[in-house]
Structures are given as structure tokens and as C-alpha cells.
Amino acid sequence: MTTMSIPAGAHLIGGDWSTAAPGGTAVSDNPARPDEPVGEFPQGDASTAADAVTAAVDAQAAWARAGFGARARVLERAAVLFDERADELALLCTLEEGKTVPESRGEAVLSAETCRYQAGLAKVSSERIFPSNNPGETIRTVRAPLGVVGVITPWNFPLLIPVWKIAPALVTGNAVVWKPASNTPLSAVAIASIFTEAGLPPGVLNLVLGPGSMGGALVADDRVDGVTFTGSVGVGQGIRDTVTARNGRVQLELGGHNPCIVFGDADIDVAVAGVVNGAMGATGQKCTATRRIIAVGDVHDELVDRLVDAVTALKVGDGQDAATAIGPLVSAGARAEVADAVDQAKAEGAETLAVAGGTPDGPCFFAPTLFAGGTDLTITHEEVFGPVSTVLRVDDEDEAFALANDTDFGLTASVYTDDPWIVDRAVHELQAGLIKVNGPTTGSEIHAPFGGEKDSSGHAAREQGDTAQEFFTRTRTAYIKPGRPR
Ligand code: NDP
């Protein structure tokens, strides 16, 4: 049992915490212990979102004028607080989302790292100087903040995804209105508290809790200059249409159907560990999770035998239990969706290879499941957000690459091989924004660009890394020449 203090659910608007609940009060559940709710939170509505946008508009110009040094110092102090509270944040994340404590702790630590990195990056010039054909003239590009940014985040990384959006937005001089997922509202309160304690002026970061429709109102507000969103394809595409229709800027991360190709020369131990981790880690609730396992030629049978053993042995349980490898799904609704997809796969003829044993009872627990099948199965095309993956057999390299790219998504892909020619081909031909060689499709480092291709992300600037600040800034080109002729 945890002894941590759970933050009280509240909006943060213009520097004030508010429990105004025009939409009533909602409960944040613990998916592992449905009879032990984590806490309550107020449900805002369109007027709550509008108030937060007003506060952001009022605060933004002064924050932009404060200078990059002052803004970076806030992030540096936030980084210290994320580190100091890593255990506390990890427990809160596990209580609300369900993932294991080490998985949650990783998010807290990387949140600190992200703040430090983005603060340091603010001190690296993004300006450029060009020669001019006119004597005495200099051409200079500067970066101006976008203005007011809407941040809409999912529940699957309740700490890290918000921080990797909010930190670059803040340090480049934007004001933020953040609507987190309703499954993880108290983790959001804990993060907003950290930024406030780190010295962020009132109104620069605003947090509004409430349903998706409130997010819709935020997105539709034409005072919001840009929206960065991670979540489902349908919601993301709606946000894109709304924001671009008024010439706003939009950044989307909408999931994937990530392939992992295992070649005959792969180290089978490395491949099995990476495939299981990639497919089942964090209960398969990662946009980067391995959804298709493509076995090339003769490696198929040994790979399947080894995967069956590994998946069957996975221990499902409460994320707070140190022995647990796989926590519950985030909600009973999410579990129902995964169970329906598994039933559909069986009805379509998928062969069940492995099901993890000893899965506890409870509305959100689901046994990791491994299928074998072909491309006729819906599950080999549509994202199922849970611990379910399918092995597909191909005869050769060409077939493997064609199958890997046979998806509307393009977020991540991986190959297991020791052949440098195949590695080179993978890096150039796999249609994915992130490619791993001898590593799982999941996981990325916060100082490298992250994002997808095709339906996974569209064409927006990459998140994270030294490209993260591009989305949150406008490039202006200045032609500067002396005021008087010489
Ligand atoms: P959603 O896309 O519905 O939710 C993501 C965020 O958008 C949440 O904050 C949500 O709020 C908000 N939202 C919902 N509707 C709107 C709207 N009309 N306008 C603006 N914001 C809105 O995803 P779900 O949480 O419902 O998960 C559904 C599926 O999405 C998953 O099964 C998975 O396939 C995919 N997903 C993908 C993720 C990724 O990393 N790419 C992450 C999470 C989910 P609220 O929570 O209040 O509804």
C-alpha cells in the first residue's frame, strides 16, 4: 500500500486552483483496485476552457518578454522537483494508469531530463544569418513564440508525454492551456503543481480537467494558435480539421501498427526479449508497441517456440507489486475493446499461440496473448491498444519489407539481424519515423526527434529532441541594413 499524499483534483487557471465543476465531479479510478478510487476531480466545460485561454492570452506577452534565461531557469527548477518527487509521481502514475512502478518511475525521471534538456536547448541559438546582395545588409532569421498553445494528452504516458510537449512550449515563450486525459487527471495536477512551484508566472500554464468535449472547445477557440495532440486517430483527425481550417498549427501523434522483422541471423535471445518487451510492455498500451512480428524463413519455428514460453510466463498483476511484469489495462472500457478485438481475431481464424497464465480476476486485467495468422486478420491492420500481437511468417527479405510497410501507420519499426546490408535497407526503406535495429519498437531518448509518418503523425514538426521547439515557434526573416547611406 502507498502512503503518498494524493493531490486534490482542481483546475489551474490564471495561477489559481479552482474546483469549479459545471460538468459535475468525476472519479479517478485505480484499474488494479477498482474498490479503491484514487480521488475525485471537477469536470470543466467549454466555459472553463475559455477562461483558461483568456488567462493564457493575458500572460503570454510578458512571458515571451521575460527572456530565454528566465524561462530556462523555471524548467531547471522543475527538473529538480521531478527528480526529488520521482517516487511519489511514480506511485501516483501507477495508481491512475496501472503500469508497473518501475515503468512509471522511468516517466518521472525522463520528465526531469526533458526539462533540463529543453532548458539547455533554449540557450543554443536557433537564429541564422544569411548574406545579402545589398551592401551593408544582413539577413537574419529569428524565432518568435507561436502564442497560446493547446496541449491535449492521453493517459498512457501521463507524466512524460505532457512534459515533452509543455517544456518546449514554455521555454520558447508560449502560454499553455493543457487538457489531460480523464483517466489520469491527478497526475496532471501533480505536474502542474511542479511547474507552479518552480516559479512559473500565473496564467503561463493552465490546466483544465474535464471530458473530451471540453478539449473540443479548446481546440475550436480561435485564440489558440496551435494544438499539440497525442491520442486516437479519429479525435486527432477532427482536431487537425478544426485547427487548420482557421490557419492554426497542429501537431499529431496518433498511434501505430508497428512491425518487428526477425531475420534468420538474429541473436534469438536478443530478439525474443525485444519482441516481448515491445509487444507486451506497459500492457501493450504504447503507440510504439510491436503489433506485428514478422518471422523470415526458418527462424519462424524457433522464434515462435521461444515467444510462446516467454509470453506464457509473463506475470500479470497490480503495478505496485514488485513481481508484476504486466499491469492492468487502464479501464474496464479499454479491456472490453481489447477483448472484443481478440474475439474477432479468433472468429476470423487467428491461431492462438500463447496466453499468459495466472492472470488475476478484475475488470481491467487482461492476459497477454500471442496469435499466428495472416494479413486477412483485422488485428494485423488495426491498432489494438493492449498486450496482443501476431506472428506472421514470410519467406524472404523482400516479402518482409513489403509486409512491414503494408500499413496506414508509420510510427516505429524494428529489425533483428546482424547483416549490415539489411540494416542499411531497413534504415532507408522502412516507412516509419523511428527505426530500431536489434531493439524493440518501443522506447526513445528524449534528446532525439520523435514522431511518425503516414497516418501516425501527418507532416508536423517532430516532438522531442532539438526539433521539439520548431512546432512552438514562428520563423521570421529580417533584412537589416544601416539607417543612413555611408
Ligand atoms: P482519445 O483520442 O479519445 O483521447 C486522447 C485525449 O483527447 C484525451 O485527453 C481526451 O480526453 C481528449 N479528447 C477526446 N475527445 C476529444 C475531442 N473531441 N476534442 C479534443 N480532445 C478530445 O483516446 P482514448 O483515451 O479514448 O483512447 C482510445 C484509443 O486511442 C486507444 O485505444 C488507442 O488506440 C488510442 N490512443 C493512442 C495513444 C497514442 O499514444 N497515440 C494514446 C492513447 C490512446 P478524455 O480522456 O477526457 O476523453
Say whether pTM exceeds 0.95.
Answer: yes
The whole-number pLDDT of residue 460 equals 77
The whole-number pLDDT of residue 445 equals 97
Q: How many CA atoms lie within 13 A of 75 on its CB side?
A: 28
Q: Of all helices (H) and strands (E), which one includes residue 148?
A: strand 148-152
> How far, in Å, is the centroid of ligand 1 from the Cα of 75?
27
Q: 10 Å Cβ neighbour count for 343?
A: 10
Q: What is the CATH number of the domain that holds 30?
A: 3.40.605.10
Residue owning the nearest CA to atom 34 of ligand 1: 385
Residue 448 lies in a domain: no
| Cβ within 8 Å of residue 49, ≥6 positions away | 177, 179, 208, 210, 214, 215, 217, 218, 221
> How far, in Å, is the centroid of ligand 1 from the Cα of 212?
8
Residue 395 lies in a domain: yes
* Ligand 1 lining (C-beta closer than 6 Å): 152-156, 179-182, 211-212, 215-216, 219, 230-232, 235, 238-239, 253-255, 287, 383, 385
* Same-domain check for residues 166 and 264: no
The whole-number pLDDT of residue 4 equals 54
- How far lies 307's CA from each of 177, 359, 386, in Å? 44, 18, 17
* Same-domain check for residues 58 and 102: yes
* Same-domain check for residues 65 and 213: yes
Low-confidence ranges of the chain (pLDDT < 70): 1-4
Q: Is residue 130 a contact partner of residue 479, using CB atoms and an 8 Å limit?
A: no
Residue 230 lies in a domain: yes
Residue 50 lies in a domain: yes
Grid coordinates of 119? 532548458
Give the atom of ligand 1 at the shortest distance from the alpha carbon of 236: 2
- How far lies 50's CA from each of 217, 240, 284, in Å? 8, 19, 35
Residue 442 lies in a domain: no
Give the atom of ligand 1 at the shortest distance from the alpha carbon of 216: 19
Q: Is residue 258 a contact partner of residue 441, using CB atoms and an 8 Å limit?
A: yes
Long-range contacts of 248-251 (CB under 8 A, 24+ apart): 248/222, 248/224, 249/146, 249/225, 249/460, 249/471, 250/226, 250/458, 250/460, 251/226, 251/227, 251/460, 251/461, 251/463, 251/471
Residue owning the nearest CA to atom 27 of ligand 1: 232
* Same-domain check for residues 227 and 372: no
- How far lies 267's CA from each of 72, 143, 270, in Å? 44, 47, 5
Residue owning the nearest CA to atom 32 of ligand 1: 385
* Same-domain check for residues 171 and 231: yes
The whole-number pLDDT of residue 459 equals 74
User: Which spans in 281-396 are helix H?
Assistant: 299-312, 332-347
Residue owning the nearest CA to atom 22 of ligand 1: 212
Residue owning the nearest CA to atom 29 of ligand 1: 232
Strand partners, 131: 138
> How far, in Å, is the centroid of ligand 1 from the Cα of 457?
15
The C-alpha cell 479548446 sits at: 218
The C-alpha cell 503523425 sits at: 457
The whole-number pLDDT of residue 211 equals 98
Q: What is the CATH number of the domain that holds 378?
A: 3.40.309.10
Tally the domains of the chain.
Answer: 2
What pLDDT, in 10s, does the model give residues 332-390?
999 999 999 999 999 999 999 999 999 999 999 999 999 999 999 999 999 999 999 99
Residue 485 lies in a domain: no
Give the atom of ligand 1 at the shortest distance from the alpha carbon of 287: 40
> How far, in Å, is the centroid of ligand 1 from the Cα of 43?
16
* Same-domain check for residues 283 and 232: no
Of the candidates 223, 112, 245, 235, which has an alpha carbon nearest to the alpha carbon of residue 181? 235
Residue 443 lies in a domain: no
> How far, in Å, is the centroid of ligand 1 from the Cα of 252?
12
User: DSSP 3-state assignment of 206?
Assistant: strand
What pLDDT, in 10s, does the model give residues 108-118?
999 999 999 99
Q: Is residue 466 a contact partner of residue 125, using CB atoms and an 8 Å limit?
A: no
| DSSP secondary structure string for all residues of 377-393 | SGGGTS---SSEEEEEE
The whole-number pLDDT of residue 374 equals 96
> How far, in Å, is the centroid of ligand 1 from the Cα of 269?
35
| DSSP secondary structure string for all residues of 80-130 | HHHHHTHHHHHHHHHHHH---HHHHHHHHHHHHHHHHHHHHHTTS---EEE
Helix 185-197, helix 86-97: angle, nearest 10: 160
CA angle, residues 25, 319, 346, in degrees to nearest 5? 90
Pocket test for ligand 1, best of 28, 152, 186, 252 (most atoms within 8 A of CB): 152
- 33-67 burial code (b ≥16 CB/10 A, e <16): beeeebbbbbbbbbebbbbbbbbbbebbeebbeee
CA angle, residues 165, 169, 171, in degrees to nearest 5? 125
* Same-domain check for residues 334 and 191: no
Active site amino acids: 287
Pocket test for ligand 1, best of 53, 227, 228, 232 (most atoms within 8 A of CB): 232
The residue segments making up the domain with residue 153 are: 11-254+457-477
User: DSSP 3-state assignment of 204?
Assistant: coil
Measured distance CA(373)–CA(390) in Å, rounded: 7
The whole-number pLDDT of residue 461 equals 82
Residue 160 lies in a domain: yes
The C-alpha cell 521555454 sits at: 171
| Cβ within 8 Å of residue 428, ≥6 positions away | none
Residue owning the nearest CA to atom 16 of ligand 1: 212
Q: How many CA atoms lie within 13 A of 469 on its CB side?
A: 28
* Same-domain check for residues 234 and 272: no
Of the candidates 331, 414, 342, which has an alpha carbon nearest to the alpha carbon of residue 384? 342
* Same-domain check for residues 191 and 291: no
* Same-domain check for residues 224 and 269: no
* Same-domain check for residues 238 and 343: no
* Same-domain check for residues 15 and 132: yes
Measured distance CA(406)–CA(384) in Å, rounded: 17
